[in-house]
């Protein structure tokens, strides 16, 4: 188990006084050690690669999609416990270094406290490993229903077998038993479907059927766990995949998506078939009423069309955050809020960084957003998705840094059951891959 305490903010008021004292100590130590070298600043943040390097990595995404058959054997399992250690520092050539170092570290520590977010959580957070998926999967739809977590469609990778780009699988996870169970297959294979739950039923909306974002569909299906059957619903007005679907009140809202009305040839490894990618995102907002079985139109998404976007409901309002307008270099940080009562949009605090293809859920009154693609400077066939996790608090309109994922991922799903958030499947490699990984995120209030 990985446990990390989030920093309290109760020291912010006197920090400026202590920081001043630390600065004086540092000056005093420096004068005593006139010949000491200037201390190097130490940072845990990795240096971002240049934009050019990031774009070069993006050009290689098709290789990851076509040539790689990622499985858990390609990646080392995440240990139950991860401990960060640092080697002690010493400066034998400088007899006064200990004074200088102490003062410097004291000042840095206090400055770090001062720099903590104003609304940092004071909870104890933990990640735990749960029973893996029976098959490596990515681009899945995930939702909680009846105390279980359902995984719908996606991309399947079974060892050396050919990749199934649009799966018909429906599998159910029981958190209490920590077991998986196969349920009724979908009528058609889906990938990048919008999945949500309402009134004891599961809904899967929109899809692609080919890589990369090719073959958008207007399909909509509903699953009844009582009968273990899928049924077709009236289709979307426009075929699209990678929509954001969410239930609010007694209706289902479907936002944005990719219509792939522009198809571009992308590079592929020598000797392999030509590959293509679909482009074209929309601001469309459709609303489905299970009572009438009809679709209606809501206020369109403000700003540019987008897909691979995060969506969550808090206090009866829909939050739409991140996403992309075309490819991963076109990620967004914007955060828009829709009020179904007024059919109007407002804006809220943006994501800390532009991001798409991460996953999201609501836990303890916060919107949790995790992972995404692509980290700049990644190399082909190496993990280069994001592992960071942030939480949005509507009471303060702010995002807070939370403990990172045990393994970087994108194209995965999340759902919350009984105050535990479950993160399922996905891939650590930008542009492709799949895993069987399942992790649970909790925090215990002090």
Instruction: State what percent of residues in the chain have pLDDT above 70.
Output: 70
Mean local confidence (pLDDT), 416-439: 94
Residue 433 pLDDT more than 60? Answer: yes
What is the pLDDT averaged over residues 9-24?
Answer: 41
Instruction: Determine which of 64-73, 103-112, 149-158, 221-230 has the lowest per-residue pLDDT on average.
Output: 64-73
- CA Rg, the chain, in Å? 24
Where residue 445 falls among pLDDT bands split at 50, 70, 90? low
For residue 377, the model assigns a pLDDT of: 73
27 plus 134 within the same structural domain: no
What's the pLDDT score for residue 121? 54
Structural domain contains residue 75: no
Residue 390, pLDDT above cutoff 60: yes
pLDDT number for residue 124: 75
- Report the CATH number at residue 370: 2.120.10.80
Q: What does the block give as tokens for 263?
A: 């198809």
Percent above pLDDT 90 for the chain: 63
**Residue 389 belongs to a domain:** yes
- CA–CA dist 271, 268 (Å, integer): 8
DSSP assignment string, 361-409: EEETTEEEEE--B--TTPPTTS--S---EEEEETTTTEEEEEPPPSS--
* Mean pLDDT, residues 268-291: 89
For residue 374, cis peptide bond before it (omega within 30 degrees of 0): yes
What is the pTM assigned to this prediction? 0.75
8 Å CB contact between 125 and 443: yes
429: in domain: yes
pLDDT band of 274, cuts 50, 70, 90: confident
Give the pair of three-digit tokens for residue 320.
């739409």
Number of structural domains found in the chain: 2
66 falls within a domain: no
For residue 197, pLDDT over 60 is answered with yes
Query: How far is residue 222's CA from residue 237's CA, in Å, rounded to a whole number?
Result: 17
In the chain, DSSP finds a helix count (H) and a strand count (E) of: 4, 29
Pair (198, 323) in one structural domain: yes
Helix (H) or strand (E) holding 229: strand 229-232
Give the torsion through C-alpha atoms of 316, 318, 319, 320, to 10 deg. Answer: 170
Whether the predicted pLDDT of 17 surpasses 80: no
Based on the fold, state whether residues 217 and 328 are members of the same structural domain.
yes
70 or 377: which leads in pLDDT: 377
* Residue 332 sits in the same domain as residue 194: yes
Same domain for 420 and 281, yes or no, is yes
Q: Are residues 10 and 145 in the same domain?
A: no
Task: Give residue-wise pLDDT tens across range 161-185.
Answer: 889 999 999 999 999 999 999 999 9
pLDDT at 430: 84
Same domain, 278 and 207: yes
Query: Does the pLDDT of residue 289 top 70, yes or no?
Result: yes
Distance, CA of 219 to CA of 395 (rounded, Å): 37
**pLDDT(326) > 50:** yes
Q: Are residues 99 and 197 in the same domain?
A: no
- Tell whether 101 and 149 lie within a shared domain: no
Other Cβ atoms closer than 10 A to 415: 26
Q: Choose the final residue of a domain: 64, 82, 114.
A: 114
pLDDT tens column, 55-112: 333 343 443 333 333 333 333 333 333 223 333 333 334 444 444 444 444 443 433 4
- pLDDT of 406 > 60? The answer is yes
* Domain with 21 in it: 2-43+90-114
Give strand pairing partners of 307: 324
DSSP-assigned letters across all residues of 150-198: EEE--EEE-TTSPPBSSB--EEEEETTTTEEEE-PPPSS-BBS-EEEEE
């Amino acid at each position: 188990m990985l446990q990390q305490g989030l920093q309290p903010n109760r020291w912010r008021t006197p920090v400026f006084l202590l920081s001043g004292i630390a600065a004086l100590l540092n000056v005093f130590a420096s004068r005593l050690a006139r010949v000491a070298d200037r201390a190097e600043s130490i940072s845990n943040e990795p240096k971002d690669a240049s934009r050019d390097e990031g774009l070069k990595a993006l050009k290689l995404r098709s290789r990851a999609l076509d040539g790689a058959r990622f499985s858990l054997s390609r990646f080392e399992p995440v240990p139950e416990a991860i401990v960060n250690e640092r080697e002690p520092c010493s400066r034998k050539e400088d007899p006064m270094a200990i004074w200088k170092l102490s003062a410097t570290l004291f000042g840095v520590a206090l400055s770090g406290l001062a720099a903590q977010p104003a609304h940092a959580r004071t909870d104890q957070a933990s990640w735990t490993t749960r029973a893996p998926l029976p098959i490596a999967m990515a681009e899945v739809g995930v939702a909680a229903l009846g105390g279980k977590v359902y995984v719908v469609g996606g991309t399947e990778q079974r060892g050396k077998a050919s990749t199934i780009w649009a799966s018909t699988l429906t599998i159910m996870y029981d958190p209490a038993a920590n077991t998986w169970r196969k349920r009724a297959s979908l009528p058609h294979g889906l990938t990048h479907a919008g999945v949500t739950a309402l009134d004891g039923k599961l809904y899967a909306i929109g899809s692609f059927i080919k890589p990369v974002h090719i073959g958008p569909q207007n399909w909509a299906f509903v699953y009844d766990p009582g009968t273990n059957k899928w049924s077709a619903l009236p289709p979307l007005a426009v075929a699209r995949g990678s929509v954001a679907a969410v239930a609010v009140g007694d209706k289902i809202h479907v936002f944005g998506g990719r219509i792939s009305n522009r198809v571009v040839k992308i590079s592929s490894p020598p000797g392999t078939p030509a590959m293509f990618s679909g482009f074209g995102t929309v601001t469309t907002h459709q609303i489905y009423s299970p009572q009438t079985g009809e679709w209606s139109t809501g206020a369109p998404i403000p700003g540019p069309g987008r897909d691979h976007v995060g969506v969550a409901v808090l206090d009866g309002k829909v939050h739409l955050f991140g996403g992309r307008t075309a490819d991963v270099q076109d990620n967004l940080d914007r955060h828009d809020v829709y009020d179904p009562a007024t059919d109007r949009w407002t804006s809220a605090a943006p994501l800390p960084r532009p991001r798409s293809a991460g996953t999201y859920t609501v836990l303890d009154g916060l919107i949790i957003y995790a992972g995404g693609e692509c980290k700049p400077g990644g190399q082909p066939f190496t993990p280069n998705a994001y592992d960071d996790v942030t939480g949005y608090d509507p009471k303060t309109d702010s995002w807070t840094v939370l403990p990172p994922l045990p393994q970087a991922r994108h194209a995965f799903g999340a759902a919350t059951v009984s105050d535990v958030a479950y993160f399922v499947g996905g891939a650590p490699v930008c542009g492709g891959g799949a895993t069987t990984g399942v992790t649970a995120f909790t925090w215990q209030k002090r």
